Amino acid sequence: MSQSLPYPGAPAQSDTRSVLAIPAFRKLWKSMAFSSFGDWLGLLATTAMAQELSGGNYKKANFAIAGVFIVRLLPAVFLGPIAGVIADRFDRRRLMIVCDILRFGLYLSIPLVGNYFWLYTATVLVEAVTLFWSPAKEASVPNLVPKNKLESANQVSLLAAYGTAPVAAVVFSLLALFSGGLTKLIPSKFASTADLGLYIDAISFLYTAWVVYQLKEIPKGASSKASVNENIGRSLLDGFKFVSGSKVIRGLVFGMLGAFFAAGAVIGLARTFVGDLNAGDAAYGILFGAVFAGLAIGISAGPKVFAQFSRRRIFGAGLTISSFFLVILALISNLILALGFTVLLGAFAGVSWVSGFTMLGLEVEDEVRGRTFAFVQSLIRISLVAVLAIAPVIAAAIGKHTFHFHKVEVTYNGAAFTMFAAGLIGMAVGIISYRQMRDRPTVSLWSDVVAAFRGELGGITGATHAGIFISFEGGEGSGKSTQTKLLKTYLESIGESVVLTREPGGTPLGDKLRDILLDTKTGNISPRAEALMYAADRANHIYSLIRPALGRGDVVITDRYLDSSIAYQGAGRILQPAEVARISRWATENLVPTLTIILDLPAEIGLGRLVSQDRLEAEPLAFHERVRQEFLNLANVDPERYLVIDGTQNIEAINSQIVERVREISLLKINQSDKSKSKKFRS
């Protein structure tokens, strides 16, 4: 299993057909598909054989399976850096043919010899050979397709690499069902499920060699003076220097290691876990296929389903949820339920995987991206080797335990205990990674989930800025204007640069729109037109005043923002609040306040404080009560971002509560971007 781990994504069908219409590439794609199929089937067959050779000994089976995984990964750690050089120096077509013939012979020999020593030896040799085949294949693709089709070719190649895993699992399960009947034709010594899988595996590589033999278009290696790639130690050192300096990348790498830690426990213990459920090779194949079916679902559907969420948030959340399902899986003693939870586990792991590798490409600067990827890949391999070695040892040491609950007797083996612990560790890593990487620390994930169901969470989340954005909301006569001025005075007294603004207004265009919207002479305006006018004012307000101020690191205080549109034009005008929210979020490019302060006051008290009334203030009492209730509804959805204050209190009491909360929010924000400012807020 020496495939790389890039960001997989399915190309459009037209692009797929277009690139596969190229005869030379179509032949190479066939060789990729059969090679990957053989690789996955070989993994299933060799782990099954490792258990067969254990003779039913639980500890021996765990150790044997762990050995298979370890020897499959070790060659990549040591030979990976030089494999690409070999592919450049030699005739790639001949190299691929030789590698396929060698893999054919090695896989064929494993069931014929039938002992642990040769199982491990042949596995190491197969993986070493594959390490030379893969870069030769990757380097050949650009020579067979036009540059404008290279991305589609790479995506189709990924489908061949990972899409064949469920196919191999199905074939392995079918072999398990029919292997018993073949004992009449083949000696039982050579007719087990693992043996049959290895025979088919060997044939697939022989076919791959024949396909590549026909590919005359593959050129020889392009470099005769290729320099040796950086070794693992150097990659780790350079990568560590960059990773240690970025909080986001630290959280990302930490989370990816946690994900592979949990995945390693599942992979290493899957065969014995299935055995603990009193199932055989067929169930093992199905469980293996379920993991990759879930991954395929998460990889293909995840980016669409969770498109509204920021990748930073969904990465840690996906890892945590996937690990939670691993905990549930460990507690299940029913195979059907186990398969269902395995699919869910794989799906959320796929979402996390796609998000992680996408972020790694986006967050890392181009000049250090290669070293960072090398660092991550090396850590992943090392962590997998460690987990695959340790997990079966722990499972074997724990052994089988039976628990009695009244009249119910439940038995769990070491595999279940170890997977349970791995799930808990994965959840802890996911939570830590989420907290390290979340781009809006004052906005809860739950509020994003609720907003997404309501259609109010935009496609771009997590916009960052250097300043602090505070909005004041509330009904008429609640005292917002007074409190915004008092807060501005306080912040300026401690050295902050403050921009105080209002909506509608705040800009020349906004002032003109304010006159139209609030003047009683304007008369009736269509509720939808009114909502669009407020959105237009807000879009220009953000563009010309608020975002530039936040970019400078200023504190921006606004008297009303998008929540007012949701409350007034949504609930007040009896439009759909979700629709009004979508318009405002689009207009503001999803710029969300760091803190929203709601001064809550019964509508009749607030209206009683007014000396004169504008067009909105003159609306009936029922209108203003709906507005008040909608403000409270918004605050209940996201208590981290909103501060609701009783507006019936005196001015000083309200101001004291506001200053206290703003001090907390300011410290949190400033500690992340400018530690020197934090001293001012402590005074």
Domain range list for the chain: 1-229, 241-439, 455-682
Do the domains 1-229 and 241-439 sit in the same CATH topology, yes or no?
yes
Lowest mean pLDDT among 391-405, 412-426, 464-478: 391-405
Lowest mean pLDDT among 15-29, 365-379, 601-615: 365-379
If one counts every other C-beta atom within 10 angstroms of the C-beta of residue 482, the result is: 14
pLDDT(675) > 50: no
Burial of 231 from C-beta contacts in 10 A (0-12 / 13-18 / 19+): middle
Q: Please tell me the pTM assigned to this model.
A: 0.52
Closest CA to 192 of 53, 372, 400: 53
Which pLDDT band, with edges at 50, 70 and 90, does 555 fall under? very high
Give tens-digit pLDDT for 457-481.
543 344 556 788 999 999 998 899 9
Distances from the Cα of 212 to the Cα of 41, 85, 641, angstroms: 20, 20, 60
Give tens-digit pLDDT for 290-338.
777 787 777 767 766 776 676 777 788 888 888 898 888 888 877 788 8
Does residue 506 contact residue 587 with C-beta atoms inside 8 Å? Answer: no
The CATH number of 1-229 is 1.20.1250.20
Angle at 152 between CA 150 and CA 155, to 5 degrees: 110
The DSSP code for 444 is -
Instruction: Give me the residue label for tokens 């501005």.
Output: 488
The DSSP code for 218 is P
Does residue 483 contact residue 655 with C-beta atoms inside 8 Å? Answer: yes
3-state secondary structure 608-645: HCCCCCCCCCCCCHHHHHHHHHHHHHHHHHCCCCEEEE
Does residue 124 contact residue 74 with C-beta atoms inside 8 Å? Answer: yes
Which amino acid belongs to residue 232? I
CATH 1.20.1250.20 fits 241-439, yes or no: yes
If one counts every other C-beta atom within 10 angstroms of the C-beta of residue 334, the result is: 9
Distance from chain centroid for Cα 426: 14
Give the separation between CA 392 and CA 383, rounded to whole angstroms: 14
Can you state the angle between helices 651-673 and 675-682, rounded to 10 degrees? 160
Give the separation between CA 132 and CA 120, rounded to whole angstroms: 19
User: Which CATH architecture is the domain 455-682 placed in?
Assistant: 3-Layer(aba) Sandwich (3.40)
Token pair for 592 = 């969300």
pLDDT of residue 188: 57
Give the separation between CA 423 and CA 403, rounded to whole angstroms: 21
Q: What is the DSSP string of 572-585?
A: ITTS-HHHHHHHHH
pLDDT(523) > 70: yes
Closest CA to 134 of 172, 171, 79, 66: 79
Give tens-digit pLDDT for 46-98.
877 777 777 767 667 767 776 777 777 777 666 655 665 565 567 778 888 89
Give the separation between CA 442 and CA 592, rounded to whole angstroms: 10
DSSP H helical ranges for 179-226: 193-213
Does residue 370 contact residue 235 with C-beta atoms inside 8 Å? Answer: no
Instruction: Give me the residue label for tokens 């979340």.
Output: 438
Does residue 538 contact residue 560 with C-beta atoms inside 8 Å? Answer: no
